A and B are shown apart, each in its own frame.
Chain A
Amino acid sequence: MEAALKAIAAPHRRQILTLVRDGELSAGEIATHFDVTRPAVSQHLNVLKEAGLVNERRNGTRRLYRARPEGLVPIKSFLEGFWDERLEGLKREAEREERKKRGSND
């Protein structure tokens, strides 16, 4: 999940995901949409691939990329319970601190 979060934190990588959402594109085709170098696009694609957000398919000498939206599922489940989990954490930490202050041995 950490990898997916980092992957979507970069605006260029989100734009790449948008481009390959509905169809396969090669790195070269993706590069024509951006003011960044081809190697930079390849680098972004590697990050997205390792995070499970794009699929890579070889077609002869070409590599084609397509978005894999199910890669976002773990992030979605994490974020849906966001405040509940944060507030549970606050409760746990405040109670631990309070026990320390009261010098309790339990």
Chain B
Amino acid sequence: MEATTESTAVQRELTIDASPDTVWEFLVDPEKAIRWMGLDASLDARPGGTYRVEVIPGNIASGEFVEVDPPRRLVHTWGWEPGGMSKSVLPGSSTIEIELVPAGDGTTLRFTHRGLPSEEAVQSHAHGWDHYFERLAIAAAGGDPGADPWLTGDMT
């Protein structure tokens, strides 16, 4: 795979047998949000409000809500707070967009995560284990960090 751009995007689409209103609650209500992501969440869903989720122990994803249009469209920035494993996907450096479209009695959810650094961009400022942790962090955000020289034994 060739990484020719400085950033990459991740896109997913899924159909949910629940109304957009119900799905929306799971995006903005902290109690409901942690039923599908993270251990603890602090969400202030209004433009400029805080998005902060402890995703895995010691690794906190945080950002700011940009667009809040219930129950249709939610945009917030996203990145790992310093102290966890990533040093390049910083808070505010990438953006998550979620669109909910009614589909019969259910909802089509379109998920886009853009602004993730490309493998190339990461390689330029990460080495050794740091490089490895960056790969994990990109994979964590749904990106493709490419073949892993550590695990295939190609790293010299």
Contacts and interface: CB of A to CB of B under 8 A. Distances in A.
A11 B83 contact: yes
A69 B151 contact: yes
Interface stretch (A24-32, A33-41, A84-92): A84-92
A56 B20 CA distance: 54
B133 A8 contact: yes
Contacts, number: 102
B10 to A, nearest CB: 6
Contact of A87 (B12, B22, B129, B130): B12
Interface in B1-51: 10, 12, 14, 16-19, 22-23, 25-26, 32, 35-37
Interface in A61-106: 67, 69-70, 72-73, 75-76, 79-80, 82-84, 86-95, 97-98, 101
A7 B114 CA distance: 29
A82 B140 contact: yes
Contact of B113 (A21, A83, A98): A83
Interface of B: 10, 12, 14, 16-19, 22-23, 25-26, 32, 35-37, 56-59, 83-85, 107, 109, 111, 113, 128-130, 132-133, 136-137, 139-142, 148, 150-151
B16 A82 contact: no
Grouping DSSP codes into helix (H, G, I), strand (E, B) and loop, the A interface class, with mixed when no group exceeds half, is: helix
A79 B37 contact: no
Interface residues of A, number: 36
Given A76-B151, A98-B17, A87 B57 contact: no
Contacts of B151: 69-70, 73, 76
A84 B141 CA distance: 10
Contact of B139 (A67, A76, A87, A88): A76
Contacts of A43: none
25 contacts: A8-B133, A9-B59, A10-B58, A14-B85, A14-B130, A17-B129, A21-B129, A69-B151, A76-B136, A76-B139, A82-B139, A83-B111, A87-B12, A87-B36, A87-B111, A90-B23, A91-B14, A91-B109, A93-B32, A94-B18, A94-B22, A94-B26, A95-B17, A97-B18, A98-B18
A10 B78 CA distance: 21
A2 B57 contact: yes
List the 8 closest pairs (A to B, CB-CB), nearest first: A9-B58, A98-B18, A89-B36, A83-B142, A94-B18, A79-B140, A90-B36, A18-B129
A83 B85 CA distance: 17
Contacts of A21: 128-129
